[in-house]
A and B are shown apart, each in its own frame.
Chain A
Amino acid sequence: MIDDDALTRDGLAAAGEGRVLVLACGALAHEILAIKALNALDHLDLQCLPAILHNHPDRIAPAVEAAIAEQTGRYARIFVAYADCGTGGELQACCARLGVEMIAGPHCYAFFDGIERFAARDEIDAFYLTDFLARQFDAFVTRPLGLDRHPQLRDTYFRHYSKLVYLSQTEDAALLARAQDAAAALDLAFEHRPTGYGDLASSLKGL
């Protein structure tokens, strides 16, 4: 089992003999490895950038570009397993310039839920967690937002949200309880939406 703290902080180095490199957000490592195993996608190697880039979208495109530059010539094909992820189109522009493909859509919440279904929901006041974010809630939400040190800031951040939606990739009672705790901590209503791997699975199976 890969350590979540390491995925958050450091990412994951590429390993394997595959001819296709999947360059992904560390928050997707468990899911990508599970899809790979379930579908015997042995031609895929996985490399992850630190998941905490999620909190600094301006750093994603430069980090992806640097990683691609490092891997050039080692793989027949590189696939970027990120959606736009708050980069404001920067990542799409970077991938287009470098001639590599990436996942469509605004973020992983959308491709787990299914991009079209997610768009049709038109939820503007939902705060999302995935399995990874439910496990790493403190590293991605509590500590960076200073809620551990200044709990009075909670409403400044979250007063316009109405609910926390847990998009679960796996069935895990302990994680479900953690997501519920997160909703309670943010004083939001809770909704559980089991998604499985959504459009992530079809993206990888097509490689």
Chain B
Amino acid sequence: MSDEDDIILKDLNDEELVAQMFDDLYDGLREEIEESVNILLSRDWPPYRILTEALVGGMTIVGHDFRDGILFVPEVLLAANAMKGGMAILKPLLAETGAPRVGKMVIGTVKGDIHDIGKNLVGMMMEGAGFEVVDIGINNAVEKYIETAKAEGADIIGMSALLTTTMPYMKVVIDTLVAEGIRDDYIVLVGGAPLNEEFGKAIGADAYCRDAAVAVETAKEWMARKHNRMSA
């Protein structure tokens, strides 16, 4: 048994506990994360502070190490699963306590494509960053994106594709937004393994996002621009 197994989470002070949560997220330990979230709640930490300082803070390290080739997809998925456990406790509380909302995003994998790992990671990190996320799942036709974006009053449409054969469908969605005269109503972000910045530009997206961390930063930046435009 390792020394770590002997750590009693509730005996740690706040600073030590958050540091331990970073480690536990990194190691994908969902039960420990859930326990730590409950401990911080019992110490009167606001849910939004737990989310940002402990969970998003920890996942940011995971994201950096993934980007730098230190962590790989399986470990990131385990970390995400642990974060999801913490988020499930916090989500209803965040709604009650009026945590700040940065914007609303409709996100889905495009028609013909069933891959959703990247999309799910982006959705989770966007929620962690204060966005409201409406996940429309996989294999989405253009109508689904547009109907949902309209019905939800979304700020952002996010599209994901893993396949070279399905990524051109993103242009179908963007062209339809243009044809309906509503292209400028939405920030359009695209991502997925075979994409690159050049492709994003070529199809008329606002930005290509290399990974979940970049998606969050890009979404925040574009939301700030949108607010500036509206207040100008």
On A, residues with C-beta under 8 Å from B are 57-58, 84, 86-90, 106, 122, 124-125, 144-147, 149-150, 153, 156-157, 160-161
Question: A106 to chain B: which residues have CB within 8 Å?
Answer: 163-165
Contact A87 B164 (CB under 8 A): yes
Q: Name B167's closest neighbour in chain A (CB-CB).
A: A88
How many of chain B's residues touch chain A, expressed as a range?
Answer: 20 to 34
Residue among A58, A88, A125, A145 with max Cβ neighbours from chain B (10 Å): A88
A59 to B80, CA, bound (A): 26
Contact B164 A88 (CB under 8 A): yes
Question: B163 to chain A: which residues have CB within 8 Å?
Answer: 86, 106
- Interface flag for B74 (CB, 8 Å): yes
Contact B73 A146 (CB under 8 A): yes
The number of inter-chain residue pairs (CB within 8 angstroms) is 54
Q: Interface of chain A, helix or strand or loop or mixed?
A: loop
Q: In the complex, how many angstroms separate the beta carbon of B73 from the nearest chain A beta carbon?
A: 7
Kindly identify, within residues 98 to 152 of chain B, every residue whose CB is under 8 Å from any CB belonging to chain A: 112-117, 138-139
Indicate whether A145 sits within 8 Å of B164 (C-beta atoms), given known contacts A88-B195, A161-B114: no
Q: Name A145's closest neighbour in chain B (CB-CB).
A: B74
Contact B199 A88 (CB under 8 A): yes
A125 to B196, CA, bound (A): 25
In addition to A86-B194, A88-B167, A157-B117, 19 A-B residue pairs with Cβ atoms within 8 Å of each other are A84-B164, A86-B163, A86-B164, A86-B193, A87-B164, A89-B199, A90-B196, A122-B112, A124-B112, A124-B113, A124-B114, A145-B73, A146-B74, A146-B75, A147-B74, A153-B74, A160-B115, A160-B138, A161-B114
